[in-house]
Amino acid sequence: MKRLRSLPLAGVIVVAFALTLALPAAAQSAYDRDVVVQVMRTNLQTLGQVRAALNKGDFYAAAEGFWKFAEGQNRILQFTPPKGSKAEWDRILGKFVDTALRGVGAAGERDAPKGLKIVEELQALNKEGHSLFR
């Protein structure tokens, strides 16, 4: 009886252990250069879009741009960079996503100076990212 009851428990432990190994592996994938280049070209366009939108008080378009920044960088976060450390990649891109989301918030507050300061923070992360990974 004791043995019958402990067997399923052992099975649960084995499956749970396998999942703890499999889940982090599923959260990352091989570097896809086409995707990164596409996201980067979109970034360049978005930079102009967000700045122009903030300068003319179009906060809807500014929020859209900030969201596009977050979405793109969140998409490439799963990759392991071909050079530089994965931990730094995760740190910079994670910070980039958080900063872009604060930009959506600033657009919601209709605060153009705050939004433009956030664009500068994104550009600082851009420089840091390019110096390490490009």
Q: Minimum CB separation from ligand HEM for residue 52, in Å?
A: 15
Distance separating the N- and C-terminal Cα atoms of the chain: 61
Nearer to ligand HEM, 2 or 33 (CB): 33
- Which residue is at the shortest CB distance from ligand HEM? 129
Nearer to ligand HEM, 38 or 114 (CB): 38
Nearer to ligand HEM, 81 or 112 (CB): 81
* Amino acid found at 28: Q
Best CA proximity match to 129, nearest among 102, 101, 97, 105: 97
Q: Minimum CB separation from ligand HEM for residue 133, in Å?
A: 4
Q: Minimum CB separation from ligand HEM for residue 109, in Å?
A: 22
No. of H helices and E strands in the chain? 5, 0
Give, in order, the Cα–Cα distances in Å from 36 to each of 42, 58, 65, 82, 121.
10, 28, 18, 12, 20
Residues that bind ligand HEM (CB under 6 A): 33, 36-37, 40-41, 43-44, 47, 89, 92-93, 96, 122-123, 125-126, 129-130, 133-134
Q: Minimum CB separation from ligand HEM for residue 107, in Å?
A: 16
Nearer to ligand HEM, 5 or 133 (CB): 133
Beta bridge partners of 79: 29
16's tokens: 């749970």
